[in-house]
Amino acid sequence: MRRHVTVSGNGHPRLPVVVHLRRRGSWGYLRLAWAGAGGELEPPPGRSSGQSTAHGEGVMETRETVKTATGAAAAVPPLRIGGHSYWPPVFPAPMCGISDRPWRMLAREEGCPLVYTQMVSCEAMMRSGRDKSWGILDMFLEPGPVCAQVFGADPENLSETARRLEQAGATIVDLNMGCPVNKVVKANGGSALMTQPDLVRRIFRRMRAALTVPFTVKFRAGWEKYGEEAFTVARLAEEEGLDAVAVHARTRQQGFKGTADWPIIRSLREQVRLPVIGNGDVRSADDAERMIRDFGADGIMVGRAAMGNPWLLGAIVARLSGRPDPAPPTVDERLDTMLRHAEMMALRRGEELGLREFRKHVVCYMKAFPHARELKTRLMQCGTVAQYQEAVEAFRPIIHEYLAQREEEPFPA
């Protein structure tokens, strides 16, 4: 159902909006698309735009909210990357095998104003058969801002790939200098570039010259130890005209183990004037708030903690928007979202391949449910969407009965 209405408040002029009333499973919400004058998004204070103002359309998803002990925090300022403004500055991290079109759609629904593709190889993009790489990106006619991430080590191939990504509709192009995987590092890509500042400068210069959209880089806190390599990359990024940097606050040697070293974020802020987006160990809205307040991050990037739990993104969006923390997702909302995620992957990738690739998400969604081993095993064997639906519907009354006996629903976002 669509209704054209106007809203006003806090002394602001009446703004035209389109209200979409929808229901998903057992819950409903309002989706407000704010349309400001001249194509610029102008939501009233305290409202999350959910989209870049540069694209002239914004989405605010609202669910029933509750106040936690911290209540509603003060809203953080927008993050400017080039000529674009993103508010609140909460972004899903680019993750191989995860950041596909359906995952990006879920992140947008939770209010993220910018989403990232999976990384693609510049060498693969330059070969004659590029269909697989474009399939990984899957960004054709994607609504809203999207950052396309590329990796590689050849300045010419990287610059040409960047140009093609911009032509394909990328709002931002990002260079991956953080991937710790041996296959990528042995090809001199990902975090291996951090040890080669002269090559990095050439790459930055060629890619910057090839692009008219904003150009960013994501790197690690260092190769084996924290510090100088990250500082060098950040300074090179500033000198060569990049628009922002993102740092995963672990070293390449750590991979995804150990604890992220958030003080590196504050140190980078002291080294350069570019916006610094922090990444690593953000598992709650409290973490995100602390990364900004105590360590100076200009924006928050959330990775593995959001897998199977996209509501974490929504919780952080609410906190950084200055709104009350949202209510935790219910059992039915979790099950419905998992099913819809599977359906979207089957639609985008074909039922057989899409559901096979969805199995990694099943593992993450199932972490929230007690006594779900049998359901997880059954879902891993499903080959059709109908089989997924049948398995979930058989599990639904079982988990409700279990929780009714315990008089609780322990699923925090």
What are the pLDDT digits (tens) for 264-311? 999 999 999 999 999 999 999 999 999 999 999 999 999 999 999 999
Q: d(Cα 211, Cα 199) in Å, to the nearest integer?
A: 19
- In this structure, which amino acid lies at residue 267? S
Q: Which domains does the chain have, with CATH numbers?
A: 2-62 (no CATH), 79-321 (3.20.20.70), 331-406 (1.10.1200)
Residues known to be catalytic: 179
Identity of residue 135: G
Distance CA 315, CA 65 (A): 10
Residues of the chain with pLDDT under 70: 1-73, 128-130, 407-413
Q: How far apart are CA 62 and CA 411, in angstroms?
A: 19
Residue 26 CB-density burial (10 A; 0-12 exposed, 13-18 middle, 19+ buried): exposed
What is the distance between the alpha carbons of residues 215 and 227, in angstroms, rounded to a whole number? 23
Q: What are phi and psi of 256, to 5 degrees?
A: -115, 20
Rounded to an integer, what distance in angstroms lies between the CA atom of residue 70 and that of residue 316?
13
Angle at 65 between CA 104 and CA 345, to 5 degrees: 20
Read off the pTM: 0.81
Is the CB of residue 43 less than 8 Å from the CB of residue 76? Answer: no
Q: Find out whether 92 and 107 touch, Cβ atoms under 8 Å.
A: yes
Residue 407 has a pLDDT of 62
